């Protein structure tokens, strides 16, 4: 046979060889920046943990996973962002170990989990101040009331320009961005603002990925969108957050206001749901334990609103109970 | 003379067309390189992605792309070449089913890549229950480029003069012997070129892999039966993040991808030139 | 090769004494491989049309094809596909307006005017450029073209059809140019020589002899270009947006069929729901569009093909 046949085989072999050799390198590298509390002390655990769900909570879990990798480098964590609803669907089919959620699990979803015989445990892992943002060049509004928000977002709304909201605003085209229907943020926002979960006008740029909303609002002078607080914090240079008047005056979204309850109605808890049976695996137990132990640090580093002391104690209590149940 | 003027203007217009095309493409490449080169460092190749652009890399994606490429060659080349052999050497071209086969392959070559993604989603991920794994991605990409490989292999086989075959038959060879010992070896350069070009097209594909579920945060090296994210998908993910640095990381990853593709294409062209035969 | 040549002494035996079963096995294996492509087509048809059929049990085809609002995931849901089709056609129109003339012009230059050395450099360069993945063009549209358009005063939105369309046109130029040049290169020299002998200028030869002679291949390249534009996903997904919009204004955001399929399919819509089936309904529509274009291309090629000796 000719030499060129050999060359082709060689190329194919080389490709596969290169892949497997680099594969043997292991998942090292990329230390989390200096905040690793323990770069030793890991138990040498291994295994795979699948998390999916909210794009609001996703970055939190991802940040936790990155830090966790420094302690347990052989535990592989994947984090998907299909939306809170999408995450629960996979969770209740048994496809994932952890479900990130920016709203509590719904009754219908609980039923599906029961049918699929997936008992679960709910952990509150952070707080959130759902933030309404506008473009940096928007100099005509600093605060909106809940009623104004409702007039913008309710189903069938024809508000197309800023001057429609308030005649003192300039006649700039209103460009709306926001999460899609699989998003817990969407569920929570529509519930609080429009009065019914899932009720919303449909002619806006909807995406399960909140980053699209960031890009959209920061690029349009008349842009307006909403997402979790961490997305605003990450992009403060390009966005402006509005204060929300829930009836008691304008309150700006902030860590303090989210924790002390004055940022109504858009302050909310963020959750991670775990399969009860996953706690039988040491790596899952270790990961959740790690999250709770380092919650404040993870939240602050990834710009989430950390839990209050009582909330943290409750979460840790729930964790102990779940571990007990698993080993019992 | 107005004839000369018109002709001159025409030529200028054509040159302009060509120039504009190349200029835009050139601008694209310069833009990518300008943005990406500063971010092209060892970290990109060795580190996994991160929410922190300072330490983010594209390692799992690069490895997955290499795996996909290897699997693709293993799957596509035998099936594609054998199909081409069947059509050129064995099939009775007057039979309706063989003509249908040819039309079928032509049609498949024109189907949008996302439809192959739908195919994979329906059958491999949900239907067969393979899940969102690398193997499913490789299989779908195989189906996507199979028509290209078949067509290229057929061209290569057809280019071989019949006299070669007749001579072998005259010496008493069986059909398979003629194919395996005369036709195939002579067609290898053409087949190799076609396969490598198909491979390079598959490596750049994003849409089908999106539907197979390659868009998640993966921090570890992929395995064949595990979750994965390929280089084009990683670029896509980087692009969706609003921080400026991620856009630059995307550019750097594009440079890596283009590097892989140029190497493959250059290799294919080299094979074609080196082993070009005249009969 | 073990069968000896028929000896001159005995009567030549033209059939082997015993059947070589291995030959049949070989033929079987080869045929099986050929069936893979058949299976692919069958798979595509099943994967697309069965769920699409189920979809149309719930949503009337008329509503689907004539409805002007596409909001399948909202309450109340709307299933009019026209915004998606208009998005696809609008971006294709922009891309085609750029790629077809420029591609053809470049091809004519390469084929009729460029010297063999120039052609030897430019043609492979074109083929190389035709291999750049579309995600790269998506990057270009988002980070370069949109800001550029805004800088020169065109008020485009962050996600818009114009950027995506222009960049898609750039993406298609190498394909159109390369295929058209192939078609023109296949025109025999005699035709050109004859025209020159009669005193034609280069321009006349190019436009009145070569292009008409190659028109079937050129049209095929156009149709292929348009078909690829229709089926393109990444450029539109990154740069055009995900807001279905029935409009002729390319400065606004819009959504194509392909972008919708990609965005919805990537998420986790549960299998079997109506929302899930929208992927297939739109996919079937897309498939039919490109399929019909392909048939048209084949027909056109056959109708206008000039046969040379």
3-state secondary structure chain C: CCCCCCCCCCCCCCCCCCCCHHHHHHHHHHHHHHHHHHHHHHHHHHHHHHHHHHHHHHCCHHHHHHCCCEECCCECCEECCHHHHHHHHHHHHHHHHHHHHHHHHHHHHHHHHCCHHHHHHHHHHHHHHCCCCHHHHHHHHHHHHHHHHHHCCCCCCCCCHHHHHHHHHHHHHHHHHHHHHHHHHCCCHHHHHHHHHCCCCHHHHHHHHHHHHCHHHHHHHHHHHHHHHHHCCHHHHHHCCCCCCCCCCCCCCCCCHHHHHHHHHHCCCCCCCHHHHHHHHHHHHHHHHHHHHHHHHHHHHHHHCCCCC
Residues C260 and B22: their CA atoms lie apart, in Å, by 31
Cβ contacts of C83 within 8 Å, gap of 6 or more: C68, C69, C70, C244, C245, C246, C254, C255
Residue B211: both structure tokens together: 């539907």
pLDDT attached to residue C5:
56
Nearest CB neighbour to C158, from listed A86, A200, A220: A220
Question: Is A299 touching B (CB cutoff 8 A)?
Answer: no
Q: Is residue C271 part of a domain?
A: yes
- Asked if B66 and A31 come within 8 Å (Cβ–Cβ), the reply is no
pLDDT attached to residue A135:
94
Percentage above 90 pLDDT, chain C: 36
The neighbour count for residue B127, using CB atoms within 10 Å, is 15
Q: A305 with A126: CB under 8 angstroms?
A: yes
Given a contact as 3+ CB pairs under 8 Å, which chains touch A? B, C
Residues B116 and C287: their CA atoms lie apart, in Å, by 10
Question: Is B227 touching A (CB cutoff 8 A)?
Answer: yes
Band of residue C267 on the pLDDT scale cut at 50, 70, 90 = low
**Is the pLDDT reported for residue A83 higher than 50?**
yes
pLDDT attached to residue A93:
82
pLDDT attached to residue C305:
66
ipTM of the complex: 0.84
Band of residue C307 on the pLDDT scale cut at 50, 70, 90 = low
Nearest CB neighbour to B17, from listed C102, C143, C286: C102
pLDDT attached to residue A153:
93
pLDDT attached to residue A86:
78
Please tell me which residue of chain B has the smallest CA distance to A69.
Answer: B219
C288 and C147 together in one domain = yes
C123 and C50 together in one domain = no
C85 and C54 together in one domain = no
C53 and C185 together in one domain = no
Q: C240 with C87: CB under 8 angstroms?
A: yes
A interface residues, C as partner, C-beta within 8 Å: 52, 80, 82-83, 86-87, 89-90, 155, 175, 180-182, 198-200, 202-208, 212, 215-216, 218-220
| Average pLDDT over every residue of C239-249 | 88
Residues C308 and C301: their CA atoms lie apart, in Å, by 14
- Asked if B15 and C34 come within 8 Å (Cβ–Cβ), the reply is no
pLDDT attached to residue B147:
92
CATH 3.40.50.300 fits B43-274, yes or no: no
pLDDT attached to residue B120:
87
Residue with tokens 């609001």: A56
Q: What is the pLDDT of residues B49-76, one digit of tens each?
A: 777 778 888 888 888 899 999 999 999 9
pLDDT attached to residue A34:
31
- Asked if B117 and C38 come within 8 Å (Cβ–Cβ), the reply is no
Interface of A with B in 79-98 (CB under 8 A): 79-81
- Asked if B50 and A212 come within 8 Å (Cβ–Cβ), the reply is no
Q: Is residue C217 part of a domain?
A: yes
Q: Give the neighbor-by-neighbor strand order of the sheet with A75-79.
A: A75-79, A47-53, A98-101, A267-275, A120-129
Residues A319 and A284: their CA atoms lie apart, in Å, by 12
pLDDT attached to residue B240:
78
**Is the pLDDT reported for residue A25 higher than 60?**
no
| Average pLDDT over every residue of C73-90 | 89
Interface of C with B in 148-177 (CB under 8 A): 170, 173-174, 177
CA distance C98 to chain A (A): 26
Q: Is residue C72 part of a domain?
A: no
0.95 exceeded by pTM: no
C42 and C87 together in one domain = no
Residue C72: both structure tokens together: 């399948």
CA nearest neighbour of C65 among C276, C282, C250, C256: C282
pLDDT attached to residue C90:
95
**Is the pLDDT reported for residue A31 higher than 50?**
no
**Is the pLDDT reported for residue A28 higher than 50?**
no
Residue B133: both structure tokens together: 């794994």
**Quick one: which H or E segment has residue A52?**
strand A47-53
Question: Is B63 touching A (CB cutoff 8 A)?
Answer: yes
- Asked if B11 and C113 come within 8 Å (Cβ–Cβ), the reply is yes
Nearest CB neighbour to A5, from listed B43, B188, B242: B188
Q: Which residues of A touch C269 (CB under 8 A)?
A: 86, 182
Q: Is residue C69 part of a domain?
A: no
| Average pLDDT over every residue of A157-175 | 90
C139 and C91 together in one domain = yes
| Average pLDDT over every residue of A141-147 | 92
Residues A122 and A125: their CA atoms lie apart, in Å, by 9
Band of residue C286 on the pLDDT scale cut at 50, 70, 90 = very high
Give me the phi and psi of C60, to 5 degrees please.
Answer: -70, 145
Q: Which residues of C touch B3 (CB under 8 A)?
A: 201
Residues C173 and C166: their CA atoms lie apart, in Å, by 11
Domain CATH number, residue C173:
1.10.3720.10
Chain B interface, mutation test: which of A27, A48, A77, most B Cβ atoms within 10 Å?
A: A27
**Is the pLDDT reported for residue C91 higher than 90?**
yes
Question: Is B243 touching A (CB cutoff 8 A)?
Answer: yes
pLDDT attached to residue A270:
92
Chain C interface, mutation test: which of A83, A173, A205, A238, most C Cβ atoms within 10 Å?
A: A205
Q: Which residues of C touch B18 (CB under 8 A)?
A: 102, 105-106, 109-110, 122, 177
Q: What is the pLDDT of residues B239-277, one digit of tens each?
A: 877 778 888 889 999 999 999 998 888 888 888 888 776
Q: What is the pLDDT of residues C162-177, one digit of tens each?
A: 999 999 999 999 989 9
Q: Which residues of B touch A214 (CB under 8 A)?
A: 242
Residue C284: both structure tokens together: 């079937």
What ranges make up the beta strands (E) of B64-187? none
Q: Is residue C73 part of a domain?
A: no
Question: Is B212 touching A (CB cutoff 8 A)?
Answer: no
Q: B116 with B143: CB under 8 angstroms?
A: yes
**Is the pLDDT reported for residue B126 higher than 70?**
no
Q: Is residue C155 part of a domain?
A: yes
**Is the pLDDT reported for residue C294 higher than 70?**
yes
- Asked if A23 and B185 come within 8 Å (Cβ–Cβ), the reply is no
C43 and C109 together in one domain = no
Q: Which residues of C touch B271 (CB under 8 A)?
A: none
Residues B195 and B268: their CA atoms lie apart, in Å, by 9
Total structural domains within chain C: 2
Q: A53 with A86: CB under 8 angstroms?
A: yes
Q: Which residues of C touch A182 (CB under 8 A)?
A: 73, 267-269
| Average pLDDT over every residue of C290-305 | 80
- Asked if C266 and B110 come within 8 Å (Cβ–Cβ), the reply is no
Please tell me which residue of chain C has the smallest CA distance to A212.
Answer: C241
Residues A213 and A130: their CA atoms lie apart, in Å, by 13
Q: Which domain holds residue C185?
A: 78-304
Q: Which range has the worst mean pLDDT, A73-77, B95-99, C75-79, C224-228?
A: C75-79
Q: Which range has the worst mean pLDDT, B150-164, B217-231, C139-153?
A: B217-231
Using only C-alpha atoms, what is the Rg of chain A?
23
């Amino acid at each position: 046979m000719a030499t060129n046949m050999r060359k082709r085989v060689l190329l194919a072999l080389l490709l596969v060889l290169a892949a497997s050799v680099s594969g043997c390198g292991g998942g090292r590298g990329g230390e989390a920046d200096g905040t690793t509390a323990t770069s030793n002390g890991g138990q040498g655990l291994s295994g795979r943990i699948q998390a999916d769900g909210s794009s609001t909570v996703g970055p939190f879990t991802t940040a936790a996973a990155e830090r966790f990798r420094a302690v347990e480098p052989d535990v592989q964590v994947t984090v998907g962002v299909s939306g809170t609803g999408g995450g629960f669907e996979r969770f209740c089919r048994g496809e994932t170990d952890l479900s990130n959620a920016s709203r509590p699990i719904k009754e219908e979803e609980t039923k599906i989990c029961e049918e699929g015989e997936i008992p679960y445990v709910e952990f509150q892992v952070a707080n959130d101040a759902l933030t309404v943002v506008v473009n940096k060049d928007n100099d005509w509004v600093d605060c909106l009331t809940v009623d104004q928000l409702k007039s913008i977002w309710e189903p069938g709304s024809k508000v197309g320009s800023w001057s429609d909201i308030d005649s003192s605003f300039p006649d700039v085209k209103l460009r709306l961005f926001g999460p899609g229907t699989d998003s817990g943020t969407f569920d929570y926002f529509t519930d609080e603002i429009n009065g019914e979960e899932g009720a919303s006008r449909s002619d806006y740029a909807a995406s399960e990925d909140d980053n699209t909303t960031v890009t959209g609002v920061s690029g349009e002078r008349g842009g307006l969108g909403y997402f979790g607080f961490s997305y605003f914090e990450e992009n403060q240079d390009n966005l402006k957050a509005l204060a929300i008047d829930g009836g008691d005056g304008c309150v700006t979204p902030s860590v303090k206001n989210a924790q002390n309850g004055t940022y109504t109605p858009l302050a909310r808890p963020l959750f991670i749901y775990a399969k009860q049976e996953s706690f039988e695996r040491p790596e899952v137990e270790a990961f959740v334990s790690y999250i709770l132990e380092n919650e404040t640090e993870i939240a602050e580093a990834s710009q989430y609103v950390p839990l209050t002391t009582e909330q943290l104690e409750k979460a840790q209590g729930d964790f102990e109970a779940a571990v007990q149940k698993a080993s019992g | 003379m107005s004839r000369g003027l018109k002709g001159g203007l025409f030529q200028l217009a054509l040159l302009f067309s060509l120039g504009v095309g190349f200029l835009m493409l050139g601008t694209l490449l310069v833009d990518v390189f300008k943005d990406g080169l500063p971010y092209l460092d060892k970290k990109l190749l060795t580190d996994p992605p991160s929410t922190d652009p300072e330490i983010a890399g594209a390692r799992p994606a690069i490895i997955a792309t290499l795996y996909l490429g290897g699997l693709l060659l293993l799957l596509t080349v035998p099936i594609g070449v054998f199909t081409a052999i069947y059509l050129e050497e064995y099939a009775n071209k007057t039979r309706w089913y063989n003509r249908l086969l040819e039309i079928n392959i032509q049609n498949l070559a024109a189907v949008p890549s996302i439809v192959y993604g739908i195919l994979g989603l329906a059958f491999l991920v949900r239907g067969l229950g393979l899940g969102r794994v690398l193997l499913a991605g490789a299989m779908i990409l195989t189906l996507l480029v199979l028509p290209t490989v078949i067509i290229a292999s057929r061209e290569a086989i057809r280019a071989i003069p019949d006299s070669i075959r007749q001579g072998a038959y005259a010496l008493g060879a069986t059909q398979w012997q003629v194919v395996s010992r005369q036709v195939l070896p002579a067609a290898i350069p053409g087949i190799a070129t076609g396969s490598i070009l198909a491979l390079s097209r598959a490596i750049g594909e994003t849409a089908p892999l999106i539907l197979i579920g390659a868009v998640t945060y993966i921090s570890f090296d992929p395995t064949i039966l595990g979750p994965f994210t390929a280089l084009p998908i990683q670029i896509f993910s980087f692009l969706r993040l609003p921080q400026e640095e991620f856009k630059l990381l995307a550019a750097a990853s594009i440079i890596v991808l283009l590097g892989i593709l140029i190497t493959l294409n250059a290799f294919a062209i080299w094979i074609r030139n080196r082993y070009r035969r005249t009969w | 090769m073990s069968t000896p040549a028929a000896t001159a002494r005995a009567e030549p035996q033209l059939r082997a004494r015993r059947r070589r079963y291995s030959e049949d096995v070989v033929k079987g294996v080869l045929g099986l491989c050929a069936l893979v492509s058949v299976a692919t087509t069958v798979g595509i048809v099943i994967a697309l049309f069965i769920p699409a059929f189920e979809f149309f049990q719930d949503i009337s085809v008329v509503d689907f094809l004539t409805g002007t609002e596409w909001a399948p995931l909202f309450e109340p849901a709307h299933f009019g596909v026209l915004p998606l089709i208009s998005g696809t056609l609008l971006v294709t129109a922009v891309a085609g307006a750029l790629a077809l003339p420029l591609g053809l012009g470049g091809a004519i230059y390469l084929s009729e005017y460029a010297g063999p050395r120039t052609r030897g450099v430019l043609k492979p360069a074109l083929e190389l450029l035709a291999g750049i993945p579309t995600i790269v063009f998506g990057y270009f549209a988002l980070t370069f073209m949109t800001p550029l358009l805004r800088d020169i005063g065109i008020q485009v939105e962050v996600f818009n059809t114009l950027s995506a369309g222009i960049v898609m046109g750039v993406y298609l130029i190498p394909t159109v140019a390369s295929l058209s040049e192939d078609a023109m290169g296949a025109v025999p020299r005699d035709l050109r020589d004859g025209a020159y002998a009669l005193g034609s200028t280069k321009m006349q030869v190019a436009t009145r002899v070569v292009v008409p002679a190659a028109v079937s291949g050129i049209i095929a390249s156009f149709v292929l270009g348009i078909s690829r534009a229709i089926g393109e996903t990444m450029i539109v997904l990154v740069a055009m947006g995900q807001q279905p919009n029935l409009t002729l204004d390319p400065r606004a955001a819009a959504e194509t069929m392909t972008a919708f399929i990609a965005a919805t399919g990537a998420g986790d819509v549960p299998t079997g729901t109506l929302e899930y089936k929208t992927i297939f309904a739109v996919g079937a529509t897309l498939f039919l569009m490109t399929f019909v274009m392909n048939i048209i291309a084949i027909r056109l090629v056959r109708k206008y093909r000039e046969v040379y000796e």
